[in-house]
Amino acid sequence: MSRVYLDNAATTKIRPEALDAMNAAYNEYANPSSVHHEGQSARKALENARESIASVLHCDPSEGYFTSGGTEADNWAVSFSGDVGEGKRHIITSSIEHPAVLSACKRKESEGFRVTYLPVDRYGSVSADDLERAISDDTALVSVMMVNNEIGTIEPIIKLSEIAHAYGAIFHTDAVQAVGSLPVDFSDLHVDLLSFSSHKFYGPYGAGGLLVRKGLKIPSFLVGGSQEYGHRAGTENLPGIIGMAEALRLDASEMDEHIGQLLSLKNLLIGLLRESCPQVVFHGDADISHPGILNLYVPGMDGEKMLLLLDYEGFAISGGAACSSKDHVVSHVLSAIGSSKEEAGNSLRISIGKYNDESDIRAFVSAFSTLLKKNS
């Protein structure tokens, strides 16, 4: 049985060009920190990858720091709150952030920081007015994600960062769901910190990064070595980084086509679902959202049962964020936008990617509507 993968917000299939680049990179077996010829060859390959990524994201290569992925980058970003200025002990984030940010903020609370969790409207959007009311001269860090991983809402990052800077706070955005899927320009966003992760844009697992605005004081996240300008110790994952750079380079060259493809398939999905299941409820902002993410609920549907039945029929989707799928907890994102416990606990996320086509969407809706009728 052929399977249809519609869980691209959890992870994407690595593109063959990135895999080829990684396989070639294994010939650069030396440690990039070594001074001999082989080591310096590996160092050159590492810095070429850094420059390639910087070119796509419109930043200086020196502003890019490699990490193991988005979770590490988010944790590192939140740690900046202790290095902004003496006496600043306040952090602001949103109530719908990725657990990597929320958990890091909780840890900061245990260290004596005060954390404000901004509400969102029914579409999942953070209000600039709410940030204005919450921020003060005591605020060290504001962290708001660029694209929500469960419902796809795109946040007004430029406006929010302007408010943060007016009060002397630094601004971080978790752009894990944005980089590779949407145009991201670090210089135009006016943010101080930006997280990204390779496996969200058809690159390998275990590679990601944190962009840090030039001139910002950087707390060392891992110690014990001089890698990443002395701020993130440990031998770099050279094949993973090279694969990530190649995936991002190619994604950028195909961006317009890719967005058009996702929007076309998403609109088809919405239309077919409305025809077959008129009672379907869609979450998030229909207009200002990720082109490939759709979160839905059908009254009376058992979300977990539907997820398993669809998997048996050959369709891979998600009951929410992959990072919390084993915890069997109600989505904090859907709760924040006003969904009932019943709705938040039984919603499904379909996320479309570059390897999907119209036949995948039609087959999914056919299976979904059939299963819904049989199990309602």
Q: How far apart are CA 311 and CA 70, in angstroms?
A: 27
Angle at 48 between CA 43 and CA 50, to 5 degrees: 95
Beta-ladder partners of 211: 64, 194
CB 2 within 8 A of CB 194: no
CA distances from 56 to 52, 68, 144, 245, 256 (A): 7, 19, 22, 9, 14
Question: Count of CB atoms within 10 A of residue 182's CB?
Answer: 16
Cα-to-chain-centroid distance, residue 316: 19
Instruction: Collect all residues with Cβ–Cβ distance below 8 Å to 150 and sequence separation of at least 6.
Output: 9, 96, 283, 293, 295, 320, 321, 331, 333, 334, 349
Question: Count of CB atoms within 10 A of residue 111's CB?
Answer: 9
- By CB atoms closer than 10 A (0-12, 13-18, 19+), residue 268 is middle
Beta-ladder partners of 147: 154
Which residues are known to be catalytic?
323
CB 9 within 8 A of CB 98: no
- CA neighbor of 195 nearest in space, from 133, 267, 147, 236: 147
Q: How far apart are CA 271 and CA 282, in angstroms?
A: 12
Instruction: Collect all residues with Cβ–Cβ distance below 8 Å to 346 and sequence separation of at least 6.
Output: 297, 301, 302, 303, 304
Q: Which residue has the tokens 């590779």?
A: 180
